[in-house]
Structure 1
Amino acid sequence: MQIELDRPTEATRIQRLKAMTTGTHDTLDKRIMRAEPFASRERYALFLDVQHHFHADVAPLYADEDLNHRLPGLADRNRFEALRQDIADLGGVAEKLAATTGPLTPAAALGWVYVAEGSNLGAAFLRKEAAKIGLSDDFGARHLAGHPDGRGLHWRNFVAAYNDLPLTEAEELEAAEGAKAAFRRVHALVDEIFG
């Protein structure tokens, strides 16, 4: 009698990308929590400033025709305007910001989009923290709201499209470097804005 051993399934593109960026991502998460962005509305306003700069960087990617061809519906996922409204809700002024990424290759751009979309999945926790200081999907925390179809489904649809992209191994590595650059950008913003 021959026993069939379960063979490990090959990791998906998203799983490989996550594995290549985990260290940079974890360092950023710890830095953000040390900044205590939900300790008060004043601290949260600083968090919105960080988010505003990062989303100004990725907003052009959400409008990019090639990326929308590769990831259908990408433009509809952009949270930049909701974020600007959150700033206004708290009495701030969402100044006009230009992207600071410079030209990105399509693969590197995919890495930046992965970070932005992943942050939307992680926003479920942040949304609960924002509620503790009186913020909601209708006031001050719009950009943290889940998709009407559900945050999990929205993420799974993105993952499916991302996993189906015809990328070479070199392009996957380039996407990982783009994602790491995006995480480092947010880390630098947290350091600069929170001090």
Structure 2
Amino acid sequence: MNQIPAQDSRARRLKALTSGTHDRLDKAIMVGDPFANRANYAKFLKVQYLFHRDIAALYQVAELEGLLPDLVGRRRFEAVAQDLADLGVADIQGLEADPARFVAGEIIDVPTALGWLYVAEGSSLGAAFLLKFAAKLGLNAKYGARHLAPADEGRGLHWRTFTAALDSIDLTAEEDARVVSGAEAAFVSVHARVRQFFD
């Protein structure tokens, strides 16, 4: 694992420490060519649906709401579900066979949850490019690609507000390690879903 200067921001450390796992995921997604046609894009949406279903409960955790700005407004699970409906993918019941990673009402480990949310927010930042690809399929932020839409204040500010809050949270070194482990687990989970639908 890379050694990152302790004085560097938590968000920068997370990016550096998870870069290998993140890069492997990105390559796996691009090999699947999710924007080649709507059928492939529907597979991509199923991957997104399961990831956002896994973390949906986190957006209602009071402790996390107190740490991260506009947490509820950052939730994209419903937008992904609507995108699937837009494309006529009605059979999403089959996607619910596995239990969600985080379940409403259950005790969660905050550092681990922060790692998963970091991955979710990072994907929102990078969605600008994906939205352009989706446009070639006749999809946009109001139809079929809602979950790729930017926040009202813009992607950059939305991301900086999140990372500033993440960086300001007081954690021990051991808790910081769990944030990294959470982010790694999130990337690995999405990678498994990519293999599930594209292999």
* TM, length-normalised to structure 1: 0.92
Over the aligned positions, Cα root-mean-square deviation in angstroms equals 1.7
Paired residues, number: 188
* Structure 2 unaligned residues grouped into runs of 5+: none
Q: CA deviation at 1:10?
A: 3.0
Q: CA deviation at 1:118?
A: 0.5
Counterpart selection for 1:73 from 70, 74, 91: 70
Change in Cα spacing, 1:191 to 1:9, as seen in structure 2 (3 Å) is closer
Query: Aligned partners of 1:116, 1:180: CA distance in 2, in Å?
Result: 12
Question: Aligned residue for 2:168?
Answer: 164
The 3-state SS of whatever aligns with 2:138 is coil
Counterpart selection for 1:191 from 184, 191, 195: 195
Report if aligned partners of 2:56, 2:102 keep a CA contact under 8 Å in 1.
Answer: no
The 3-state SS of whatever aligns with 1:167 is coil
Question: Aligned residue for 1:141?
Answer: 145
The 3-state SS of whatever aligns with 2:189 is helix
Q: How does 1:56-71 map to 2 (within 5 A)?
A: 56-71=53-68
Counterpart selection for 2:116 from 86, 90, 112: 112
Report if aligned partners of 1:17, 1:172 keep a CA contact under 8 Å in 2.
Answer: no
Percent same amino acid at aligned positions?
53
Question: Aligned residue for 1:176?
Answer: 180
Question: Aligned residue for 1:28?
Answer: 25
Structure label with greater radius of gyration: 1
Query: Aligned partners of 2:187, 2:143: CA distance in 1, in Å?
Result: 27
Query: Aligned partners of 1:111, 1:9: CA distance in 2, in Å?
Result: 18
Question: Aligned residue for 2:100?
Answer: 99
Q: CA deviation at 1:101?
A: 4.8
Map Cα deviations across residues 63-88 of structure 1 (whole Å, 9 max, x no partner): 11111111131111001111111000
Question: Aligned residue for 1:3?
Answer: none
* TM, length-normalised to structure 2: 0.90
